[in-house]
Amino acid sequence: MRSSLRAVTAGLAALAVLTLAGCGGDATGGSGGDGDKVDVVASFYPLQFIAEQVGGDAVNVTTLTAPGVEPHDLELTPKQVGTITEAKLVLFEKGLQPAVDEAVEQNAKDAGFDVAPAAKLEATGAHFEDHDHEEEGGAGGPAAVLPGSAGNEDVDPHFWLDPVRYAGVVQAVTDKLVEVDGAHADGYKERAKKLLGEVTKLDGEFKSGLATCKLKTFVTSHEAFAYLAKRYGLQMVGIAGFTPDAEPTPQRIKEVQDIVRAEQVTTIFYEELVSPKVAESIARDLKVKTAVLSPIEGLSDANSEQTYLTLMRENLQELRKANSCA
């Protein structure tokens, strides 16, 4: 009798463990099905925001890049690889995070959705300088990357800093969610329409807000803002290349200093997730200001309550201030 009772008790305990294991997951680990919700993995914050806004209560969203972690440096834990393997949909940008690319290739080929084609990525450097700004709705005017920039012919991954490109990815993710989970198609489409309206409004604010700037050049820690510069007729100078924690050469620092003097730049921008030492050093030498311009690659403890939309609007105000925009 006692052995039977122990067997029943053990069985109930095991069932409880299994039940708890299936209820939710942390921000960088397991997903975990919640009823009939779709498990979606987003590789970093801009895709997480889209998945949450469009998915609403029909999805469980897990992000692989925790707050405070620089997305370029992401290394996956075994638990995160397991989350990718079990997900119904994995949103990622091929080429941005090699560890995610590899995990999707090996464990989630059918579930993986690369947003890069929808973002219409381009190369920086000479390609941008020769490109017709009106071709994709850009504002025209100056080149996005100032000659002498650290840019090269690598493809620029930072599509989300151009609201128009970001809108294209919103639509692509919506279409994919409808394909994966047709039962909730109407909800996905309705929420996507609302988000696209917000992003379109954001584009209008940037167009009007940066239309009358006295200065056209801005200097940033790394080359994350070329698409934004191209869209709104500005010139970006990146101290480092695409990887924010790369050390610029002494020659590159001198080039930046020369550009700051020649273009009468007032502000050296740095970002939240990497050390500001180089930017502060250049600003100190040239007696100009420093300020944060967020690449919105991920959130930090300092801005954990912010969203893509609020951070973009803060960026707009910082650019207007630095470039004397009426």
Encode pLDDT of 33-77 as tens digits. Answer: 456 899 999 999 999 999 999 999 999 999 999 988 889 889 999
DSSP secondary structure letters along 209-268: HTTTBS--EEEEEES--HHHHHHHT-EEEEEE-SSTTPPPPHHHHHHHHHHHHHHT--EE
**Model confidence at 152, in pLDDT bands (50, 70, 90)?**
very low
Q: State residue 130's pLDDT score.
A: 37
**Model confidence at 24, in pLDDT bands (50, 70, 90)?**
very low
Average pLDDT over residues 248-277: 93
Least confident of 17-21, 259-263, 311-315: 17-21
Closest alpha carbon to 83 in 58, 100, 98: 100
DSSP state of 300: -
What is the identity of the amino acid at 235?
Q
Q: State residue 129's pLDDT score.
A: 41
Q: State residue 299's pLDDT score.
A: 87
Question: At residue 31, does pLDDT exceed 80?
Answer: no
d(CA 237, CA 227): 12
Q: State residue 217's pLDDT score.
A: 97
Tell me the pairing of strands 289-292 and 267-270.
Answer: parallel
Least confident of 71-75, 88-92, 161-165, 171-175: 71-75
Average pLDDT over residues 79-100: 97
Q: What are the angstrom distances between the C-alpha of 146 and each of 111, 128, 225? A: 39, 10, 12
d(CA 29, CA 46): 18
Encode pLDDT of 282-326 as tens digits. Answer: 999 999 999 999 999 988 888 888 999 999 999 999 999 999 998
Q: State residue 60's pLDDT score.
A: 98
d(CA 73, CA 94): 14
Encode pLDDT of 92-150 as tens digits. Answer: 999 999 999 999 999 999 999 999 999 999 986 533 443 333 344 444 444 455 444 44
d(CA 87, CA 112): 9
Closest alpha carbon to 295 in 115, 160, 139: 160
Q: State residue 326's pLDDT score.
A: 87
d(CA 102, CA 107): 8
Q: What is the mean pLDDT of the chain?
A: 84
Torsion of CA 97, 99, 101, 103, to 10 degrees: -150
Average pLDDT over residues 157-171: 97
What is the identity of the amino acid at 105?
E
Q: State residue 34's pLDDT score.
A: 58
Residue 95 gets the label, from left (phi > 0), alpha (psi -120 to 50) or beta, of: left
Closest alpha carbon to 88 in 177, 172, 173, 28: 177
In sign, the C-alpha dihedral spanning 297, 298, 304, 307 is positive
Q: State residue 203's pLDDT score.
A: 98
For 38, the 3-state DSSP assignment is strand
d(CA 297, CA 74): 12
Average pLDDT over residues 251-280: 93
Q: Residues 219, 265: contact at Cβ < 8 Å?
A: yes
